[in-house]
Chain A
């Protein structure tokens, strides 16, 4: 057995790679796992729903569906946190990789924020430490503690980014550009702070005020987005183009909201296959983008209810309801936006409105936010380009009114976060806007879904820690509220 050690050495695979490539994997992993956010997050905010039951159960019926409530959890821990923890442990203390370390901390913070926003208490301090610290069954942490640490992490990491250190040009988010990463960090911190506006306004204000003048992501060129291609496809786009192509529809509240405000984004987002009596008949020849023709699917229907709703609306079938266009904004190569100029401007509008920052005017931020989203849609697909005159006309018709500012801003945030289910879901819970009616489905478990339930595997494998989380947070049900949701 003299040569056994040599024998047991793999001749083929690497035991380490440049951690920058691993950070890229974490960034790619931030793309929202498909059916988890489609059946829940995006449906909870009443933008897209399916009338179908069984495995597609979720926000359409306001019922729990463990099959897909776990996909965000699994996707983020396995693809994001696993890699960021490893990158951090590999580059911590390595002199010339300081920027990579900070970038990994920021990406990790983004991932944890999405996780805790959706689930509440999650394994945070111990989370993702299976390899680095051999923690197999991590403890859950209270959201309050998580937020405190996230704020610290993002603040520290953003501050420590330095253009005098090695620039990580392999980075797929910003090619290592320090200014853009700083803008990402500040915008993330702004988002963290604003999330606490109801539960801890003082802390929220303190965090937001401390940001000063940024820099922030205020222009679409700085958007944090996973720019998918044919080899790295947008998961939501893939689902809406394959198995579920004919199973998800824009909702009536969303379509009507855009229609009633003459929002030019309706034509950019929606498609209706006029006269389609079945999924296979949803052909490009039938596609119509005209805002007037768009009809959203009413909330609260199962398959039979949707059939009836279609006939009530004078449609050939429910396949004729408007869809998020899978050939434009929901195409396979559509970017997955994480933090956009639109969202950041709108948060700044609210912060300014609340008086937590002093520069600029709330309306300027408000309009800049709307404009950024309208432009962003055209950047996703040329077919969704909105002419500047239509943008200007819309802005002119929608001044920010002091009395309804919070509602206006957050309604726009809702639209601007279209296809970013977790952010739309979180901001809806925080702000209470838009004023959506409860899902009227007769078999609903709750009027509104307030969080996602833990994965079955956690209940099975990590039961003691889950129980502890439940004892502090409340039952593992979709009606339970997370800490910041007041």
Chain B
């Protein structure tokens, strides 16, 4: 340091000073601060003039914190430009743009333009008082656009780190190496100027305002940076802290409840599972609704390996072969390390995403990864995050009657009720006989869930090396995430290496790029939802007097096979599953892109870019372990079992170019770009499945008896051309139009080419100039766009394919059509037309900001994988029909109720109301319906014309006109003649409330989130009812159930039905009404407590930054309506199965910490 801070002895008592002056002029306080901390603060007088600030004292430790407190509510923010040097400038105007974290100063977050990045100047050293050996001295004055002296302007000798800052009057003096040096004058918000010294000793300069740089910069479609106020549509920005402090193994799950308009569901499938993201609701009736993931401007693959049994429609998820495995194999987002994310922008509406055309139907998540450090030399950052995940048990079962059927408890060896709790009333001293004569007390066993599952753990270690210079920089990171699942044999490990880099080769030619390598190892992701081998289903339905240790100790019979414990043999003993079934997934993935940019002139450039996402994924699993009780024996000489081994490869290449022009003529600005993209995707799979083995316990292909190999290959390509044009008037009114044309390989020639237009306007009716007043900033925006998608059309879906069975039958081939879906050669891409209106307001110097958007989205020509009559020979077909509507309002409100130098309270709320409607299917006849998914047990999900999307349907109780339930002659309730609708499974309301408090640097925040207005069909309760665990089944245990209602003659029902038969109607009659619930909830989602120790660090300490946070996730379920489960605890990623709950893993409460150290 040239100016060591040795001024502590000169400091006056700041507390005394500040309290003496209850109402101080900002200007005076700034001078005080300069004095106290021995720093220099540069500002333009008119910026601070007449501004009055609250009295308060300067915290003793850091000038930064004092300054930020002082400036709160003034509309001014500061920037550190060097050791002990600060400059002030007006706050960026559209702070209220729906950033998820409004507490951070806007303006810098997404600023990736190197000329404007603050750290560019961090290397500047003040030389004012430095004795120098330089030969040449330059002095001069810098003036602002009005001709006044300009303090705080940075002056740098180009190509060196020598420089200075202008003083309060705008004067400077600097030694330069020689007379041919070039000086660079820069100031935030102003255009930089380069001036050749040319042996002059006095150089005066006038700075001109750079209108656009005052703005918040937002990364928009195709990676184009735009000023936030020019946008005619809503975007949401996510700060990297949001992803890293309160992290989850799949990074998006950390954002649950935080972004207006974005509904994120974490699935109860274990670490490494998929993340379900819906932006502005579900648009597709029966297909894909996943947003596009774009990293550094190039799309990556987000293939979903979630399992969706009963999904009759399409969602491009990839399941497993051969049954027995229903685990979640993760998605494309799961291989991203949150520490590498610099920023994330969510493009919510069609207008925002229109330039992505066919892939943007469901919005875009744009991730920018780190590509440089914050200073010269090597900066090292180390981050450790640890959370402990405790499984939560929401069961509230009956414990009055124990194991058994028809009121009888097990009293002889090898009973097989195991999964039924229709036994006898517990009495002291009673015993039950389990397995081969194990006698144990007949008493309740209450903690099956907590005793079986263990606490999970997530430990992430990340190390990054970064450097920056004025010409570029790099960021290299290594990260290791080790997760221990709550199922005792489940673990997940992810190692990532990420390199981001950029360099300006010449002022005109620059390149940048990033490479991400990840290695993921998912061991035994748990099966969910189904019967076979599914630990949660077997465990949640285990008879309520079954001791777990007995179940564990007796899992094998004398031959080493599963000992039968229930007549329901598909409910595999969970300990047998744990010991015998395995599923190993390893994925190696490398994605990245390189781009080259050439500036022809300052206003015209061309960029070329190539990106690739490649992964290979090896998986092997035994679908059915040898000896499982639900399986038939193998032929003599073999043992039974099924084993599958498969390898998949995936490659997506995107090559694009973009020409951009940006020029102003007086008040009118033009901004235009034109580009093209070629996308090519190829995936293939080799898979071999074998049935029955020669050598027991040797799960290999060679050891198998019957072998069934598959090779499959899929290719698709999309060519695109696109362009956009923007006109702005006085930097207040913006009009943007885009056009994109896509050509799809998957569609027939006649339907192949589609054009998507969009138009958006933004009108800033009040711009932030830093002055006081109730309204500081106001903007109105309107947009309309059309996008489309072929993503529901699989390659080759125009043709029916035939296959030959792997084994001959009677020495003859057997074959037929592959699959149960009828091909349709005439499919067209579906289209989404969305209109969006919104406004942004900032009021009371940023104490109140509001961003509201309303949207109306019509999806037409939907490619519907509709269920058709079995009697057609096929189960589903793709039809190009279907029209649906999404309407909603999303809003983000930020309030700062308290803000003083000690304490800040910031309240943020986001809420989204989304209402869907099916407008037509094959026709627009109200009531016309299709089935898109069926529940694993009973009930289904439908789309019905005239109703909200995703109706849960099934048989209900038959009732008379007065609503009384009608019973048959046997006392068992009758069901409705037809399936009835129980309501939509999609939430109408979702959002969250965040409260953030800062007391003297201690940050505390908590988030409450909610989803409301969605129905669910609970498979867990369905089973709890038919197995006698649900409390409602206590009715009628003695003497049978006399249901309240009438018989078929309208007389009161007096017939007592046997209790077990009565409750089993959910299964035998598919009468699911008792298992339908409101699926909404209110949750205390997150608590964070943190402190930044950086200000206590000594200047010479090798540690430059130290932050510690304590985090808690999924803290408390405040309100729910469904019995026995967390409404979030289920695991199908498909919208075609939304609301079709089937027992997944219990949800967990995470507690942990995050420590971030910078060197």
Contact = CB atoms under 8 A, between A and B. Distances in A.
A246 interface: yes
Contacts of A131: 800, 817, 822, 873-874
B531 to A, nearest CB: 9
B698 interface: no
B971 interface: yes
Interface stretch (A179-187, A235-243, A342-350, A402-410): A235-243
B897 interface: no
Contacts of A5: 749
Interface stretch (B135-143, B278-286, B863-871): B863-871
A436 interface: no
A95 interface: no
B633 interface: yes
Interface string B432-446: 000010000000000
A397 interface: no
Interface string B1059-1081: 01100100111100000000000
A232 B745 CA distance: 39
B416 interface: yes
Contact of A443 (B630, B953, B972): B972
A16 B968 CA distance: 52
Given A14-B803, A24-B812, A457-B931, A304 B407 contact: yes
Interface in A444-480: 444-445, 455-463, 465, 476
A443 B668 CA distance: 84
B814 A24 contact: yes
A54 B971 CA distance: 16
A77 B871 CA distance: 5
A459 B1070 contact: no
Given A54-B1026, A243-B570, A130 B795 contact: no
Contacts of A455: 870
B1057 interface: yes
B1073 to A, nearest CB: 15
A418 to B, nearest CB: 20
A279 B564 contact: yes
Nearest to B412: A277
A66 B706 CA distance: 34
Interface stretch (A132-140, A189-197, A382-390): A132-140
B1082 interface: no
A21 B1058 contact: no
Interface stretch (A78-86, A99-107, A214-222, A359-367): A78-86
A1 B809 contact: no
Q: Is the interface of A mostly helix, strand, loop or mixed?
A: loop
Interface string B708-727: 00011101110100000000
B880 to A, nearest CB: 13
Contacts of B813: 17-18, 21, 24, 170
Nearest to B800: A131
Given A57-B1064, A459-B978, A332 B871 contact: no
Interface string A36-77: 000000000000000011110100010111110000011001
Contact of A457 (B711, B717, B867): B867
A264 interface: no
Contacts of A14: 801-804
B405 interface: yes
B873 A462 contact: no
B746 interface: yes
B815 interface: yes
Contacts of B969: 445
A244 B629 CA distance: 10
Contacts of A12: 711-713
B406 interface: yes
Nearest to A82: B873
Interface residues of B, number: 98
Interface string B951-990: 0010000000000000011111000011100000000000
B872 interface: yes
Interface string B141-167: 000000000000000000000000000
A127 interface: yes
A4 B873 contact: no
A164 interface: no
Contacts of B436: 280
A9 B796 contact: yes
B1069 A15 contact: no
Nearest to A278: B414
Contacts of B632: 233, 237-238, 241-242, 332
A335 B745 CA distance: 48
Interface stretch (A223-231, A253-261, A373-381): A223-231
A169 B986 CA distance: 56
Nearest to A138: B871
Contact of B810 (A25, A81, A123, A172): A172
A12 B713 CA distance: 7
Nearest to B567: A247
A85 B873 contact: yes
A245 B798 CA distance: 44
Interface in B713-763: 713, 715-717, 719, 743-746, 749, 752-753
A443 B872 contact: no
A110 to B, nearest CB: 16
Interface string B789-812: 000000110111111110101101
B413 interface: yes
B818 interface: yes
B1069 A66 contact: yes
A182 B1070 CA distance: 44
B877 interface: yes
Given A243-B630, A280-B564, A11 B713 contact: yes
A178 interface: no
A67 B870 contact: no
Contacts of A86: 816-817, 873
B631 interface: yes
Nearest to A16: B802
A7 to B, nearest CB: 4
Contact of A137 (B568, B745, B869): B869
A392 interface: no
A461 B867 contact: yes
A8 B979 CA distance: 40
Nearest to A26: B816
A461 B1069 CA distance: 18
Contacts of A126: 871
A52 B569 CA distance: 13
B405 A73 contact: no
A230 B635 contact: yes
Nearest to A70: B870
A241 B633 contact: yes
Contacts of A21: 804, 812-816
Interface string B1035-1060: 00000000000000000000001101
A22 interface: yes
With a 10 A CB-CB cut-off, give which of B796, B930, B968 has the most chain A CB atoms. Answer: B796
A347 B390 CA distance: 69
B484 interface: no
A317 interface: yes
A122 interface: yes
Given A21-B813, A73-B870, A128-B871, 20 more contacts: A8-B795, A17-B803, A22-B802, A55-B1067, A57-B1068, A63-B972, A64-B1068, A78-B874, A122-B871, A170-B812, A230-B706, A232-B807, A242-B569, A242-B631, A242-B632, A316-B412, A443-B1057, A460-B929, A460-B931, A462-B869
30 contacts: A9-B796, A14-B801, A21-B815, A25-B805, A25-B815, A63-B970, A67-B1067, A67-B1070, A73-B871, A77-B871, A77-B873, A78-B874, A86-B816, A128-B873, A130-B868, A130-B874, A136-B822, A137-B868, A230-B706, A231-B706, A232-B809, A241-B633, A281-B413, A302-B406, A303-B1060, A317-B412, A442-B970, A443-B1058, A445-B968, A465-B869
> What 9 A-B pairs come out closest when comparing CB atoms?
A304-B406, A130-B872, A82-B873, A278-B414, A443-B970, A57-B1068, A123-B871, A231-B807, A241-B632
